[in-house]
Amino acid sequence: MASHITKHLGYVFCSTKYVTSMKDKLKDLVDTSTEVIEHKNRNETNDKEIPARVEAWLGDVEKVKDQVQSIPNDDIGCFHMKNRYRVGRNASKATMRIQELISKYSEITWTDAPLPTGRATSSTTSTPLSSSPGGDDFKSRDEPFNDALKLLQQDDNKSQVIALCGMGGVGKTTMMEQLKKVAEDKKMFDFFVKVTLGRNPNMLSIQNDIAVCIGGEGLREETVTARADSLRRKFEKKLEEDKAKILVILDDVWGKVEIKDIGQTSPLPKGVKLLLTSRDSNICTQIAADAFTLLQVVRVNVLSDAEAQNFLSKYTGVCIEHDQDRFQIGCDIVKKCGNLPLAIKLIGTTLKSEDDYAWRDTLNRLKNHDLDDSVQEIISISYEYVRKDEDKAIFLHCGLFPEDSDIEIEDLVRHGWGLKLFKNVSTLGEARDRTYTCVRNLVNANLLMDSERLGCDLNWIVNHGDVSTWSRDEMNKSCKRISLTCMGMSEFPRDFKYPDLSFIQLMDGDQSLKFPEDFYASMENLKVIAFYRMRYPPLPTSLQFSTKLKSLCLRKCKLMSDWSFIGDLVNLEVLSLAYCGICKLPSKIGNLRKLKLLDLTGCANLHIDDGVFINLVKLEELYMRGSHMNRIHFTDANLEELKMLLCQLCALEVVFYDMNHLKDLSFEKLDKFKISIGRPYFETIIPFKTTLQLDLWDDEHRSDLVDNKIDELVKKSESLRLTMKHMSHLEDFVPVNPSDQSFFWYLRDFHVNCCHKLKYLFPTHVTRGLRKLERLTISSCDVLEALVHDYNGEINGKGEMIIFEELKYLSLRGLPKLVRLFPVDSVVELPQLVELAVNELPRITSIYPDNKNTSALQQALFNSQVADYT
């Protein structure tokens, strides 16, 4: 009795001691639970076993943390006996519960054994469906979810293989589970076979689990081939005898799977669909090719900003209404996580119930790329599975650009050439193709994203603040590449010494920024210099760089009045002076006899010294587009040298204001160009490799077009833009041979504007060659009556159809005489059209021929996605 009274009195007089003891124990428990969560996440990522009791234990920890939060921490006055008793008693009970959980965890054993591969679930398995079909009420997931569901519902061979693709941790498996649940509820399939492959799949185990799902019992065969044959017979029985429909789900696909090994045949039998989840769409494409069908890819992207912030709030309990400061820190955290759901979940779980300092510390670590171990593991695994060294090199180089910036492919090409990132390439064109291939591979692997810009190990520095703030660890003398945003800096440190440096990139430095005179003194291994938006950047001289500097890339930099000493860097192969305001290209540049690329884009009123071009004997690519007010002034000697240079150039960007400048020029060797004749090239971004613009208002120049072999450019053009006041038909600027269907073979984008004498655009025979045309825009053509005209009765005579196979966008504006698009008796198909924009067409009453084919044409002309703007 006495001890019982003493204990209860202790709750009153020692309540503060009980609360302190509770907090100390809770700290131990939180530390333990954090380690458990990290261990669990690592095992999930690496397909390793997690003890069965871990989930329940973590749930109990959360309950205890909530219990502790409900106990007042404030000091309670001496006279509040009842409150002191309640606090002491509750703290004592919480402490005992905390100790009990710590003891329980010591009984849990982690084996870290690999999960049995090929775990399968049958059609009886279900997953709770959240308020939104995409899960977790993410509205941004509704569109991809519905797209995937629609593909599952389609009964055709074009949607037999569907892949949910996205970066690690983005929620592909979650969406797959939701799709499976909806498909089960709607009874879309008779059997659901879900197999988790992982990075190291055991095909024997996978085959056995599939057999259990499809037939109820395992396989006795001992080899992959024998089991595959047995599975094939089981599937055939279900498909042929039972007329079953089967959905086979391959989750977490890391490598190519032979469909014959999972009991399927090529082509995939009717009634079977494959649903894949993978980080790499290239792998899924290979599986679809094995099944003799096209792959339907549904991209699962990261969350929107609002969704990411709400998702963090869900795990931390912090919202803007109750804690504005911590909520703002949380917004910065999710941005640093790239709005990646798994990263937010992992960090949010560890931040729950933590104080402000923990939130600030987490944000600071993320700013310094000190990621959570599990998030780091996800990214590292994705990187390790990049197969080609060149892809890895490009990925790491992307990490040298500021966050949230757009990285231009051309920068990667020019930097990569100087750094020799590419094997077995001898021209810049080949290097560019290789770069595009690397970028495509990285995009397909869902690695080339802002949130993935790691690129930093001990030999790299990516910094976007004042260099004076770098720590000693960062100032590593063995650093090989440096990228630095100089905004706000006033002076570079004098001990800026990096003897192993091969690449330096500086951005956004103003005129006040001072550099030491011996800036390059210890950079004898420098191969690439890239300065962007720098006022009076330090330029190298030949004495500093005798052999190794290959690429000097300046863009929007203010240069000193005499920069001609660049001509002494005789081993330069890439020189860009784009938008640097130079008015003269001095003869000394002709000394750069190894130069392969020269970029003079946007240089105002540029004058070129005679003898420059003729000495650039290795030049492959020349870029010198100006603007209407800032044109390049060609002398007769310049043009004569350009004529000879064109015999070796593969890429050219230029504006010819005078038609006479084209005389005797040959464009036959060019395979990359942006050429404007008459007026400046449009500054809008046009993603085409070959673009030709003709802007001519004088009738006398029409014959010159044919004489100057413009057809050489037209035949290669992906984008063609015509503004020709006196053009009455296509033959006015190019000889269109009725038997030559390859003339517009590469044309994808066609703009026709202000052709005031043009009555018809295409003869019927020309439309046969428009196989790749995707965009057609026609505007302000006063007398145009039809797009296509049957001059010689070809349609009636041969019964041919007019088919624009790839046309997706059609815009018709300001065409007062337009009465129809196609000949009256034609049959037209526009199977890919998704957008039709029309305006100021007062005479047109129908956009399809008024004949017996009308009903069929309407169906062919407009697919279900066409948007009509009037």
Q: What integer pLDDT is reported at residue 379 of this predicted model? A: 65
Quickly list H helices, 70-140: 81-106
Would you say 786 and 824 are in contact if contact means Cβ atoms under 8 Å apart? no
* Range of weakest confidence among 86-100, 141-155, 459-473, 521-535: 459-473
Quote the mean pLDDT of the chain: 79
Query: Of residues 36 and 421, which shows the higher confidence score?
Result: 421
What tokens appear for 125 in the block?
């398995």
674: phi > 0 → left, psi -120 to 50 → alpha, else beta; which? beta
Q: Model confidence at 641, in pLDDT bands (50, 70, 90)?
A: very high
Q: Is the pLDDT of residue 263 over 60?
A: yes
What tokens appear for 514 in the block?
């001072």
For the stretch 578-625, pLDDT in tens is: 999 888 999 999 999 999 999 999 887 889 999 999 999 999 999 998
For the stretch 89-105, pLDDT in tens is: 777 778 888 888 888 88
* Range of weakest confidence among 35-39, 120-124, 588-592, 756-760: 120-124
Q: Model confidence at 649, in pLDDT bands (50, 70, 90)?
A: very high
Mean pLDDT over residues 831-856, rounded? 71
For the stretch 54-94, pLDDT in tens is: 888 888 888 888 877 777 665 554 445 556 667 777 777 78
pTM, two decimal places: 0.68
Query: Of residues 644 and 765, which shows the higher confidence score?
Result: 644
Percent with pLDDT over 70 in the chain: 79
Mean pLDDT over residues 483-499, rounded? 81
Q: What integer pLDDT is reported at residue 550 of this predicted model? A: 94
3-state secondary structure of 356: helix
Q: What integer pLDDT is reported at residue 627 of this predicted model? A: 64
Q: Is the pLDDT of residue 783 over 90?
A: yes
Quickly list H helices, 129-171: 142-153
Q: What integer pLDDT is reported at residue 461 of this predicted model? A: 44
Query: Of residues 743 and 690, which shows the higher confidence score?
Result: 690
Q: What integer pLDDT is reported at residue 138 of this predicted model? A: 80
Mean pLDDT over residues 160-178, rounded? 88
Q: What integer pLDDT is reported at residue 393 of this predicted model? A: 92
What tokens appear for 757 in the block?
């004498």
Q: What integer pLDDT is reported at residue 325 of this predicted model? A: 84
Cβ contacts of residue 490 below 8 Å, gap of 6+?
A: 512, 513, 514
* Range of weakest confidence among 1-10, 109-118, 208-217, 258-267: 1-10
Task: Give the whole-angstrom CA distance, residue 384 versus residue 849.
Answer: 58
Task: Give the whole-angstrom CA distance, residue 779 versus residue 755.
Answer: 9
Query: Of the ranges 67-76, 349-358, 559-568, which is most confident?
Result: 559-568
Q: What integer pLDDT is reported at residue 673 of this predicted model? A: 93
Query: Of the ranges 128-132, 142-146, 471-475, which is most confident?
Result: 142-146
Strand runs (DSSP E) across 713-759, as ranges?
Answer: 719-724, 749-753
CATH classification (class only), 305-376: mainly alpha
Q: Model confidence at 532, in pLDDT bands (50, 70, 90)?
A: very high
Q: Model confidence at 459, in pLDDT bands (50, 70, 90)?
A: very low
Q: Is the pLDDT of residue 506 over 80?
A: yes
Provide the 10 A C-beta neighbour count for residue 344.
28
Query: Of residues 824 and 653, which shows the higher confidence score?
Result: 653
What tokens appear for 228 in the block?
């595959």
Of the candidates 249, 319, 311, 321, which has an alpha carbon nearest to the alpha carbon of residue 284? 249
| φ, ψ (nearest 5 deg) of residue 551 | -130, 125
Query: Of residues 863 and 185, which shows the higher confidence score?
Result: 185
For the stretch 267-300, pLDDT in tens is: 888 889 999 999 888 889 999 998 888 899 999 8
Which residue's structure tokens are 């703030």? 469
Q: Is the pLDDT of residue 457 over 50?
A: no
Q: Model confidence at 122, in pLDDT bands (50, 70, 90)?
A: very low
Q: List Cα–Cα distances, 787 to 696, 752, 814, in angstroms.
A: 21, 11, 14
Q: Is the pLDDT of residue 420 over 70?
A: yes
* Range of weakest confidence among 43-47, 258-262, 264-268, 646-650: 43-47
CATH classification (class only), 120-299: alpha beta
H/E stretch holding 449 reads none
What tokens appear for 725 in the block?
């006041």
Q: What integer pLDDT is reported at residue 798 of this predicted model? A: 52
Domain residue ranges of the chain, discontinuous segments joined by +? 2-106, 120-299, 305-376, 386-455, 692-870
Q: Is the pLDDT of residue 392 over 80?
A: yes
Looking at residue 268, the DSSP 8-state letter turns out to be: P
Strand runs (DSSP E) across 669-825, as ranges?
Answer: 672-677, 690-696, 719-724, 749-753, 760-763, 775-779, 786-789, 802-803, 809-813
Q: Is the pLDDT of residue 462 over 60?
A: no
Count, residues in the chain: 870
Mean pLDDT over residues 554-579, rounded? 89
Q: List Cα–Cα distances, 340 to 199, 347, 444, 592, in angstroms.
A: 21, 11, 17, 48
For the stretch 306-345, pLDDT in tens is: 888 888 888 888 888 778 888 888 888 888 877 878 778 8
Alpha carbons within 13 angstroms on the beta-carbon side of residue 153 total: 12
Q: What integer pLDDT is reported at residue 706 of this predicted model? A: 63
Percent with pLDDT over 90 in the chain: 24
